[in-house]
Amino acid sequence: TEETLVLVKPDGVARGLTGAILARIEAKGYALVDIALVEPERDTLERHYAEHAGKPFYEPLLEFMMSGPSVAIRLAGNRVIEGFRSLAGTTDPTTAAPGTIRGDFGRDWGLAVQQNLVHGSDSPESAARELEIWFG
Ligand code: GTP
Ligand code: MG
């Protein structure tokens, strides 16, 4: 089996969508291995988003991720990495397909960062790295 790191980002928690998002994950059949409400420090987010350092949306992204609590989830199942990213939809919530988390619940709020409700690891290497950051 495989594991991935999912975050319900601050916009998802603040809008009360954590339950709806978890329901989709559970309905798909993936197993919750661990789950925690988290309020990450800046250094945790710098590690998590190291690949985006220097990009125009990097600082707004870190500010956004420190704007309120997130829910961190260790999720397991065969091909769960690609499976969750399929559930989440593409990065831009305006055009993410209906039926996906981002496509059904997200939109452009006119902010410097795309508030797109969830994060999911994008490869086995990312998943191992990110699970270590968020769950140790
Ligand atoms: P994650 O699952 O959150 O990693 O999303 P992703 O893999 O679809 O996107 P990526 O890793 O490329 O970017 C990380 C996060 O930065 C995104 O989820 C958005 O919140 C934000 N972001 C990415 N690209 C852009 C962009 O071009 N403009 C803005 N404003 N924000 C962006
Ligand atoms: Mg990413």
Residue from 45, 59, 114 to probe ligand 1 pocket by mutation (most atoms less than 8 Å from CB)? 114
Q: Which amino acid is at 8?
A: V
- Separation between Cα atoms, residue 67 and residue 34, nearest integer Å: 23
Question: Residue 11: what pLDDT?
Answer: 98
Whole-number pLDDT of residue 134:
98
Give me the pLDDT at residue 18, please.
Answer: 98
pLDDT at 109: 96
CATH of the domain at 47: 3.30.70.141
Using CB atoms within 10 A of its CB, is residue 38 exposed (0-12), middle (13-18) or buried (19+)? middle
CA–CA dist 98, 79 (Å, integer): 22
52 as an active site residue: the answer is: no
Residues of the chain with pLDDT under 70: none
Q: How far apart are CA 18 and CA 35, in angstroms?
A: 12
If one residue of 57, 90, 111, 130 were mutated to test the ligand 1 pocket, choosing by the most ligand atoms within 8 A of its CB, it would be 57
Assembly ipTM = 0.90
- How many domains, in total, are found in the chain? 1
Residue 111 lies in domain: 2-135
The pTM of the full predicted model, rounded to 2 decimals, is: 0.96
